[in-house]
């Protein structure tokens, strides 16, 4: 999986070398996350904050572009059992590299991502009952709209993030899932 992610990043980066137009995109929004935990029922969505910075490279005067990003994402889950609700927060520094295709102001995007855990590992290991992975590899896919406003574009973006790594080495398999909704502004460079 690591080789596939690295190969994809390299190919996408080489395509960006021929970029005709570059945009810097600061953004912020919410993440609605939930973990898929084997042998446990009652997982609920947890709402968190996300913010980051993307750089969009348009490739050779086409509707295709490459968009690497660096984002802070608050993920986790809530588990409800009877009157008891347990909330688990996981904070990540995330690097998705997305292939983006535009149809006028509307676009679709998809690509691999790698996330670095920023939360206290010891606390998480106590919660999950085993070692916690520092990195989470995943895939993101979504769509958005980029409306020209002033010199740049106002952007509304929505994505589904699918974690592929079992983040806990305990008896239960734990994988991150989430929806990310952001607004931002693309500044042309």
For the chain, give the mean pLDDT.
Answer: 88
pLDDT of residue 105: 96
- pLDDT 10s digits, 34-63: 888 877 777 788 999 999 999 999 998 899
pLDDT of residue 131: 85
Query: In the chain, what are the domain boundaries?
Result: 2-15+23-188
Q: What is the CATH number assigned to the segment(s) 2-15+23-188?
A: 2.40.160.20
- Max mean pLDDT among 32-41, 119-128, 177-186 falls in 177-186
pLDDT of residue 162: 96
- Angstrom distance (rounded) from CA 179 to CA 166: 19
**Paired strand residues for 21:** 58
Q: How would DSSP label each residue in 41-109?
A: --EE-EEEEEEEEEEEEEETTSSEEEEEEEEEEEEEEEEEETTEEEEEEEEEEEEEEEEEEEETTEEEE
- Angstrom distance (rounded) from CA 141 to CA 158: 9
Q: To the nearest whole percent, how much of the chain has pLDDT over 70?
A: 89
pLDDT of residue 163: 95
Q: 14 pLDDT exceeds 70?
A: no
pTM for the model stands at 0.84
Give the model's confidence band at 6: pLDDT under 50 very low, under 70 low, under 90 confident, else very high. low
């Amino acid at each position: 999986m690591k080789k596939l992610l690295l190969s994809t990043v390299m190919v996408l980066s080489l395509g960006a070398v021929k970029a005709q137009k570059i945009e810097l995109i600061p953004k912020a929004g919410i993440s609605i996350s939930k973990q898929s935990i084997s042998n446990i029922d009652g997982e609920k969505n947890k709402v968190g904050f996300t913010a980051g910075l993307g750089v969009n490279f348009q490739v050779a005067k086409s509707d295709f572009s490459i968009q690497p990003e660096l984002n802070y994402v608050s993920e986790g889950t809530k588990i409800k059992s009877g009157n008891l609700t347990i909330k688990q927060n996981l904070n990540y520094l995330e690097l998705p590299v997305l292939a983006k295709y535009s149809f006028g102001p509307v676009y679709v995007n998809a690509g691999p991502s790698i996330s670095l855990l920023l939360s206290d590992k010891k606390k998480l290991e106590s919660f999950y009952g085993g070692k916690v992975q520092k990195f989470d590899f995943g895939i993101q896919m979504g769509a958005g709209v980029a409306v020209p406003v002033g010199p740049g574009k106002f952007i509304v973006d929505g994505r589904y993030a699918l974690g592929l790594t079992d983040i806990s080495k305990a008896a239960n398999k734990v994988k991150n899932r989430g929806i990310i909704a952001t607004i931002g502004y693309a500044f042309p460079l």
